[in-house]
Chains A and B, each alone.
Chain A
Amino acid sequence: MEKSIKDRIAIIGTGVTKFGEIWEKDEEDLLVEAVHEACNEAHVDLRKDIEAIWVGTFYNFSGTSGNAASDPLKFYGKPVTRVENYCATGMEAVRNASYAVAAGMYDIVLACGVEKILDQGSRGLPGMEDIFPHPIIVAESMPALFALCANRAFKEWGWTKEDLARVAVKNHHHGAKHPKAHFRREITVDTALKAPIIASPLGLFDCCAMSDGAAAVILTRPDIAKSLVGEGNYATIKAMGEAVETALPFYRPDWTGLSLPANVKAAEAAYKEAGIQDPRKELDFGIVHDCFSITELLNYQDLKLCKPGEAADLISEGITAIEGEFPINPDGGLKCFGHPIGATGVRMIVELTRQVLGRAEGYQVKDAKAGFAHNLGGPFVVAFLTIVGTPEWEPG
């Protein structure tokens, strides 16, 4: 049997909280809101119908063990697995849940993710100084990781801070229309260029914000989906590619800073699984992990939307704008949602589902039948590409 997830998993329910600085709510509030929204949409009862849960939290303070979901949801007596895989934690939760259904072990499962970052009162992601237990291995901030790439890209391709600023301007343009986004206002190139530097050359608007949030999806088999929510009300997973690389990329003599090897391998795996030759022609849109402006550009190239060095042109020519030929981050991306780590990958799957079902009101991509979501974690360690489409969608 050809090993493929294609059309074996249906997404029947989606839930997502408002993302942002949510001081008045904790991880329990966020998870309850997202999960119950997903259950309602899927017409399932959480405690009665859900057979197992995968919950993503990156930080222990957002929840450890199965208790990360069981206690907030009061979901007891069944399997609950806590998942962590850097910033790709959310998509890892969806992947594990999907594979359990595909393996035939469960009929209906929940994948969710939550992160409550603001409670820590940190300027950047909390705890980065101690990310490596070794006392003398250099820790760096997340923007610093990608800043190292940006300076190489500037040198190699002549990209500029303006090129990076245009990524932020585009995503803010999209996110302004999304009711759940953290930031809902347009910005200009000038605003971005005048912002304080976080890790040179990246300034404030090159970086996604610190946000809280949660997201959830209900997964089942397509045949069950049909009876539960009916035709036209569910999407199917077409592919899930994942690759893990080293946490110490900067020590590798072959590291270029111009491409993230995990991205390339995850994308190759996903395109192959879905049967896609040319993603830009065969898919309708994409969501990429734009934790930083430079990351969005490198992702375009690694995910084969263009050749190396051309990504900045895709922005300046408007190709990846929501009105363009191949919209990227029609939701506003991490730029507008921030990045509550465990929630992000799950939220991306929610966005894909809503787009292909035509439910992305205000930020709907025209005629969206299938798209990808890309989730990236750590020092370019974990990359994910998940492709979701209508059940009828086929490559080509």
Chain B
Amino acid sequence: MVGILSYGAYIPMWRIDRSEIAKASGGASMGGERSVASWDEDSLTMAVEASLDCLSGIDPKGIDGIYFATVSSPFKEKQAASIIASALDLRKDAYTFDFTDSFRAGTSAIKAAFDAIKAGTAKKILVTIADSRRAMPKSEFEQVFGDGAAAFLIGEDEIIADIEGFSSISDAIPGPWKREEDSYPRVFEAKLDRMYGFLKDVPHAVTELMKKYSVEVKDISKFAIYGPDPRSYMDVARSLNMDAKTQLQDPLFASVGITGTPHCLLLLVAALETAKPNERVICASYGEGSDAFLVRTGEKIEQEKGKHRGTKYISSKRMLPSYGRFADFKKERETGWPEWSRSPVVKYWRDEKWELPLYGMRCNKCGTLQYPIGRCCMICGERDNYEEVKLATKGKIFTYTHDYLVGPGNLPGDGINATTRAVIDLDDGCRLFLEMADQEIKEVDIDMPVELTFRMWNQKSNYRYYAWRARPVRE
């Protein structure tokens, strides 16, 4: 049987109260708050975070492929999955694939993983789904959207939930869409899309799925469904004749917002977190049609509880104080910040091992674990005699400063916003010097526990460099 071996999720630290957006952009608040990726986060980095959560305690070298699904890849031309694979320390022969352009990309990736394993071309495939979308300022999307990620390890044996099968419908309905030259998604008329797309396609795919596998609505404990807005959830629940109160997985609109491609899969994570053995969950996406798949939990579902942070990331949060901050994070505000300078991209390629999967070196002569990897030991000078070691991802602060002169990612500082730099002693004894992310100035102190987080580092030479920062340990 092919199914889910593990799951994980990631929600960025930051939230904004929707009333702040309403205050700045006009209109009424839709209530609650939405998640906001930090300025140095994007779909790629969040996919790494959700994957790390999913792979907690699992050897990444045993994974045969990684499928990344998003509509907000940081690159228009360049694969993100290969960078994610490197950051996760997957084998170099693990198959990498970006699924994109539709909110169905996530469920399509799950299906592709399922099919590959069924066909025997892979044993374990990691599917990681993330979006951090920009919404046109003053459009209702500003309040509707949220940022987040989910990840599933698909495989055989040891499964925690069986994937019983899929059903799909395609529909060339117009929206929303983004052309090559567009910065924001456009819509023709949300009502058209909801009535003739969403409310037709999702019930169709779900009904066909139930028919195919001889189950009825009452047999389904949770429906994990993508919906374009809160109202659409009530409509689809009615259309499917389910009891919205008990059977509809909370769409997380009040706490996260609609995350796009990962959304129905994020809701599936939430459903699995509370599911008991032998429960059925239907996950259905929407975007130019709908994919639906049927999941049945097994005995092992209980063992997963507590292993992953999953939707616990939702309660681990900090509020952005204002719409201005939100606009900065989403790069919607002209700041006059200096342009990134140049940097030789080739160096990044040469040093991948210590940058992305974060390896250090242990000197075979004096035994010192150190970073970055160099030819000679920084303590005893021994040449070319070391072992590459994957570094720990947790540690504590040895010392720190809030630097107002040099900004984050080696930009000139603005003198107003400090960049926190910290010398970190990792649990394995290696020492790193890192910038901090998601921190508040007043909490940073010597001996504070931190964990590493994968972030966009800078964009020198118009490239996107990714690397690790340190953040306060998230509850």
Contact = CB atoms under 8 A, between A and B. Distances in A.
A98 to B, nearest CB: 29
Contacts of A232: none
Nearest to A150: B401
Contact of B457 (A124, A136, A201): A136
A199 B378 contact: no
B120 interface: no
Contact of A253 (B401, B410, B431, B463): B431
A129 B406 contact: yes
Contacts of B345: 135
A123 B405 contact: yes
Interface in A139-160: 139-144, 147-152, 155
A211 to B, nearest CB: 16
B343 A133 contact: yes
B405 A138 contact: no
B372 A253 contact: no
Given A129-B411, A135-B347, A144-B421, A251 B372 contact: yes
Contact of A248 (B405, B433, B458): B433
Interface string A246-257: 101011111101
Contact of A136 (B398, B413, B465): B465
A200 interface: yes
Nearest to A254: B379
Contacts of A250: 423, 431, 433
B368 interface: yes
A199 B417 CA distance: 11
Interface string B364-376: 0000111110000
A133 B407 CA distance: 16
A253 B415 CA distance: 31
Interface in B22-80: none
Interface in A162-209: 196-202
A140 B406 contact: yes
Nearest to A202: B401
A148 to B, nearest CB: 5
Interface in B353-400: 355, 368-372, 378-379, 398-400
A148 B343 contact: no
B399 A257 contact: yes
B446 interface: yes
Contacts of B399: 148-149, 151-152, 155, 257
Contacts of B137: none
B313 interface: no
Given A144-B401, A253-B431, A135 B460 contact: yes
Contact of B421 (A129, A137, A148): A148
Contacts of B372: 137, 248, 251
Taking each of B421, B441, B465, B467, which has the highest tally of chain A beta carbons within 10 Å of its own beta carbon?
B421
Given A200-B402, A248-B433, A123 B415 contact: yes
A292 to B, nearest CB: 11
A319 interface: no
A155 B413 CA distance: 27
A128 interface: yes
A104 B412 CA distance: 47
Interface in B208-244: none
Contacts of B435: 138
**For the complex, would chain A's binding face be called helix, strand, loop or mixed by DSSP majority?**
loop
A251 B402 contact: no
Contacts of B341: 129-130
B336 interface: no
B304 interface: no
B320 interface: no
Contacts of A254: 379
Nearest to B368: A253
Interface in B108-159: none
Contacts of A133: 343-344, 347
A199 B402 contact: yes
A292 B411 CA distance: 22
A134 interface: yes
B427 interface: no
Nearest to B402: A200
Contacts, number: 137
A252 B421 contact: no
A134 B460 CA distance: 10
Interface residues of A, number: 42
B404 interface: yes
A202 B421 CA distance: 14
A141 B344 contact: no
A141 B372 CA distance: 20
B378 A124 contact: no
Given A251-B371, A252-B378, A139 B410 contact: yes
Contacts of B401: 140, 143-144, 147-148, 150-151, 199-202
Contact of B406 (A144, A148, A197): A144
B353 to A, nearest CB: 13
Given A135-B343, A251-B433, A141 B406 contact: yes
B403 A134 contact: no
B83 interface: no
B254 interface: no
Contacts of B405: 123-124, 128, 141-144, 198-199
A141 B418 CA distance: 11
B362 to A, nearest CB: 11
Contact of A251 (B370, B407, B415, B465): B370
A329 B99 CA distance: 65
B434 A141 contact: no
B173 to A, nearest CB: 43
A200 to B, nearest CB: 4
Contacts of A252: 370, 378-379, 431
A207 to B, nearest CB: 9
B344 A140 contact: no
Contacts of B457: 135-136
B465 to A, nearest CB: 5
Interface string B405-440: 111001111010010010101000111111100000
A136 B372 CA distance: 11
B421 A140 contact: yes
A251 B411 contact: no
A155 B445 CA distance: 10
A253 B430 contact: yes
B421 A138 contact: yes
Nearest to B369: A253
B299 interface: no
Given A135-B347, A252-B378, A141 B413 contact: yes
B437 to A, nearest CB: 13
Contact of A197 (B371, B402, B425): B402
Contacts of B368: 253
Candidate in B355, B404, B407 with the most chain A CB atoms within 10 angstroms: B404
B378 A246 contact: yes
Max chain B CB contacts within 10 Å: which of A124, A135, A151?
A135
8 contacts: A122-B412, A124-B413, A130-B341, A135-B465, A136-B465, A148-B423, A152-B399, A252-B431
CB-CB nearest 8 A-B residue pairs: A141-B405, A147-B401, A250-B433, A124-B405, A144-B403, A135-B343, A136-B467, A200-B402
Interface of A: 122-124, 128-130, 132-144, 147-152, 155, 196-202, 246, 248, 250-255, 257
Given A129-B406, A136-B465, A144-B406, 17 more contacts: A122-B412, A124-B413, A128-B405, A129-B410, A135-B347, A138-B435, A141-B404, A141-B413, A144-B403, A147-B403, A148-B400, A149-B399, A151-B446, A155-B399, A199-B402, A250-B423, A251-B378
